[in-house]
């Protein structure tokens, strides 16, 4: 049965006195049984430190970690009933795939008949039955990562921890392994925490995402919440590729109508009451070309990717990213008008960066 994870008031500091550095600043996250939580953020944001604290590889300066209702702070990693998959596969090179998968079970003195049965079940789940007699040196990168996951899965732990497991794989294999990890989670139902700096992995894998910066959770929510309703400008620009457009301007009311004035043009929008110093946030797919618009700019770059075309337009408000259809007729150097889909916009305070 899947276990819940409670992270309460977790602080972590390194160094002492004037050299003390606080890398985690009172993190509070509750993970429901069977949930897949993603910790995402740039290098140095504290996500791997938090994962290591959950695993018992680091001890917190303050706070509690509860797995299945038990406070595990101070409990050795081996006694936490967790399984961890690392960026490096960490397989035993002299052992076969079957022996690698069953090693933890052997250490726990699980009878050979039960051990072999569990190895066969895990191998079938990961579709690596034909590899059981091989050694790690005879496997591809994706196959090695499957074996590493199989070794973790064989134990049937309370909690799965993934530390950037796909970073060493090429682009095509990363896509395949993302699907494999998602399928594995759906099959096993084990509560999982996954660390990555890749926002595509975060969006495609997670039940919920915790976006981190500077040891603080900037926003915790579903992928849809994070993408459509970012809590601040940091989340808005970290999640999404190309990034969300942040456009400075001011709301202007004229009777029943209102618009957002952008230096030398305007966009008809329903604006918040106070838009002095407000930033308009619009995803590239929610900006489109409109010949009648007074907000104009010059196309500086057109990138065709097959399914979509990305266009960069230089305007008085800066460079604006537009996601459009592959048959777009615009070319570099063209003068174009821009409009924004009002039902999809976000508004942010220009000083604090927080969502209005």
- Helices 97-107 and 141-154 cross at an angle (nearest 10°) of 20
Closest CA to 207 of 226, 222, 228: 222
| pLDDT at 281 (0 to 100) | 96
Q: What is the average per-residue pLDDT within 45-73? A: 96
Tell me: pLDDT of 108 over 80. Answer: yes
CA angle in degrees (0–180, nearest 5) for 261-267-271: 75
Tell me: pLDDT of 94 over 70. Answer: yes
**β-bridge mates for residue 162, sequence order:** 85, 194
| pLDDT at 260 (0 to 100) | 87
Tens digit of each residue's pLDDT (9 = 90 or more) over 244-279: 999 998 887 765 678 888 877 888 888 876 666 789
Q: Which helix (H) or strand (E) holds 11?
A: strand 5-14
| pLDDT at 324 (0 to 100) | 96
| pLDDT at 243 (0 to 100) | 92
More confident residue, 312 or 264: 312
Query: Is the pTM of the predicted complex or chain greater than 0.75?
Result: yes
Q: Which helix (H) or strand (E) holds 279?
A: strand 278-282
| pLDDT at 256 (0 to 100) | 61
| Mean pLDDT over the full length of the chain | 91
| pLDDT at 167 (0 to 100) | 82
Tell me: pLDDT of 58 over 90. Answer: yes
CA angle in degrees (0–180, nearest 5) for 84-23-86: 15
Rounded to an integer, what distance in angstroms lies between the CA atom of residue 169 and that of residue 183? 18
Structure tokens at 318: 């800066």
Burial bucket for residue 137 (CB in 10 Å: 0-12, 13-18, 19+)? exposed
**All structural domains of the chain:** 5-238 (3.40.50.300), 245-349 (2.40.50.140)
Q: What is the average per-residue pLDDT within 217-227? A: 97
Closest CA to 185 of 212, 210, 211, 204: 204
Tens digit of each residue's pLDDT (9 = 90 or more) over 143-184: 888 898 888 888 888 999 999 888 877 888 788 888 888 988
């Amino acid at each position: 049965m899947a276990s819940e994870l409670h992270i309460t008031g977790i602080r972590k500091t390194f160094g002492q006195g004037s050299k003390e550095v606080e890398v985690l600043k009172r993190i509070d996250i509750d993970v429901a049984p069977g949930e897949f939580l993603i910790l995402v953020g740039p290098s140095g944001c504290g996500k791997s430190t938090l994962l290591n604290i959950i695993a018992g590889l680091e001890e917190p300066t303050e706070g509690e970690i509860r797995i299945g209702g038990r406070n595990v702070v101070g409990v050795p990693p081996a006694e936490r009933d967790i399984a961890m998959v690392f960026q490096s596969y960490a397989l035993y090179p002299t052992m076969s795939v079957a022996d690698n998968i069953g090693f933890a079970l052997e250490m726990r003195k699980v009878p050979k008949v039960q051990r072999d049965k569990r190895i066969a079940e895990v191998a079938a789940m990961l579709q690596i039955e034909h590899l059981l007699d091989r050694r790690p040196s005879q496997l591809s990168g994706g196959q090695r990562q499957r074996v590493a996951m199989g070794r973790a899965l064989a134990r049937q732990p309370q909690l799965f921890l993934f530390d950037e497991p796909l970073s060493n794989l090429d682009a095509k294999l990363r896509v395949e392994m993302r699907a494999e990890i998602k399928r594995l989670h759906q099959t096993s139902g084990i509560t999982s925490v996954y660390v990555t700096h890749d926002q595509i992995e975060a969006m495609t894998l997670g039940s919920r995402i915790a976006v981190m910066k500077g040891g603080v959770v900037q926003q915790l929510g579903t992928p849809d919440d994070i993408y459509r309703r970012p809590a601040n400008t940091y989340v808005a620009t970290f999640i999404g590729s190309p990034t969300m457009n942040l456009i400075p301007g001011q709301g202007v009311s004229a009777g029943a109508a209102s618009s957002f004035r952008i230096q030398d043009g305007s966009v008809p929008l329903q604006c918040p009451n106070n838009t002095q110093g407000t930033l308009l946030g619009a995803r590239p797919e929610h900006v489109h070309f409109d010949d009648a618009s007074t907000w104009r700019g010059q196309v500086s770059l057109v990138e065709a990717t097959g399914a979509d075309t990305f266009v960069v337009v230089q305007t008085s408000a800066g460079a604006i990213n537009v996601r459009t259809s592959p048959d777009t007729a615009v070319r570099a150097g063209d003068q174009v008008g821009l409009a924004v889909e009002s039902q999809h916009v976000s508004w942010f305070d220009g000083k604090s960066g927080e969502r209005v």
